Amino acid sequence: MTVLQSIIDGVREDLEGRRLTVDEREIIELASAATPALDAFASLGGREAGEDRDQSVHIISEVKRKSPSKGALAEIPEPAALASMYEAGGASVISVLTEERRFGGSLADLDAVRAAVSVPVLRKDFMVEPYQFFEARAHGADLVLLIVAALDDAKLAEFLALTHQLGMNALVETHTPEEIQRAAAVGAKIIGVNTRNLKTLDVDITTFGALKDLIPSDRVIVAESGVQELADVQLYGSQGADAILVGEALVKSGDPAATVRAYREAATAARAGK
Ligand SMILES: O=C(O)c1ccccc1NCC(=O)[C@H](O)[C@H](O)COP(=O)(O)O
């Protein structure tokens, strides 16, 4: 069994226990009154086709306690405090892992972060059932993650439509040319290339440069994973990332605000060729 499949099996089991805690009709009402999706899209530099792109490279800063590839990464007693530091450093989006078994995250972490920051918040989880999207909205997420490798075309289309219906946007994550083609075909506005291979868990940051040009230029392009140092964000920036998702390097940083700021400035300068 692949790592991805074993994570998804755990997610489904955990979901059974909390399925009845959110009234879906209430969430539909809540979502109809909100317009966070456009804000979240714009804050990542997204533009309608034909308009100029925002030239700055945005940092999506992740609250990540542990991971299947690295085990424990950092004690995070107050995710809200960490998220506030990210925001102070200029993070455009805060990503919060809510998967419990392998990443040590929770919906409580999402609640705490949501209450602490005003920038958009991404619920980072393995989305396999419609209920999770209602749940994400109920807990204040502006964005959710859709992993193309975990979904067939029908589910991808259904979940993207549901995401938009609930007033959210989706970071649609890919690893291969075929997955990028599927993400683009379904109308994903924000497409990420995750440089972590989900079968081996190895990271190869050159994957982003190899695949990035396959993403249509009117989509927001996100480089995900593998940042360890400034040179890595400079590489992603120079290769045209609109946004970069960073987890481990930020939770291990002694000064998360300064690190986010440095990453943002370095990636933006690299993108501009400075
Ligand atoms: O991080 C893992 O080990 C992992 C394993 C299996 C599936 C997903 C995994 N990570 C999720 C992510 O996409 C990362 O948390 C995110 O891109 C940040 O990565 P990093 O900066 O390398 O911590």
Tell me the pairing of strands 66-67 and 71-72. Answer: antiparallel
* pLDDT for position 38: 47
Cα(148) to centroid of ligand 1, in Å? 15
C-alpha 70/C-alpha 266 separation (Å) is 26
Domain map (residue ranges) of the chain: 3-271
The pLDDT of 170-184, averaged and rounded, is 97
pLDDT at residue 50 in the model:
44
Q: For residues 205 and 48, which has the higher predicted lDDT (pLDDT)?
A: 205
In this prediction, does ipTM exceed 0.90?
yes
Spot the catalytic one: 43, 61, 64, 212: 64
Q: What is the fold of 3-271?
A: TIM Barrel (3.20.20)
Residue 49 has pLDDT above 50, yes or no: no
What average pLDDT is seen over the chain? 90
The pLDDT value given to residue 33: 57
Handedness of CA 72, 259, 188, 185 (dihedral sign): negative
Q: What does the pLDDT average to over 249-265? A: 97
- When pLDDT is averaged across residues 182-207 and rounded to a whole number, the result is 96
62 in contact with ligand 1, CB cutoff 6 A = yes
Predicted confidence (pLDDT) per residue in 50-70, tens digit: 456 667 899 999 999 999 999
pLDDT in tens, 134-144: 889 888 899 99
CB neighbours of residue 143 within 10 Å = 27
Is 252 labeled as catalytic in the residue annotation? Answer: no
**E strands present in 179-271:** 190-194, 220-224, 243-246
Quick one: pLDDT at residue 274?
77
d(C-alpha 170, C-alpha 157), whole Å: 11
Dist CA 145 CA 19 (whole Å): 19
- Which pLDDT value is given to residue 56? 87
3 pocket-lining for ligand 1 (C-beta < 6 Å): yes
| Interatomic CA distance for residues 234 and 243, integer angstroms | 12
Nearest residue (by CA) to ligand 1, atom 14, is 225
Decide: 194 in ligand 1 pocket, CB within 6 A.
yes
The answer to whether residue 169 is catalytic is no
- Strands of the chain (E only): list them: 58-63, 66-67, 71-72, 93-97, 121-124, 143-147, 169-174, 190-194, 220-224, 243-246
CB 92 within 8 A of CB 60: yes
Residue 161, pLDDT score: 93
In this prediction, residues 92-103 reach a mean pLDDT of 96
Q: Is the C-beta atom of 258 inside 6 A of ligand 1?
A: no
Top pLDDT among 192 and 168 is at 192
| Residue-wise pLDDT tens digits, 4-36 | 999 999 999 888 867 656 666 666 666 665 555
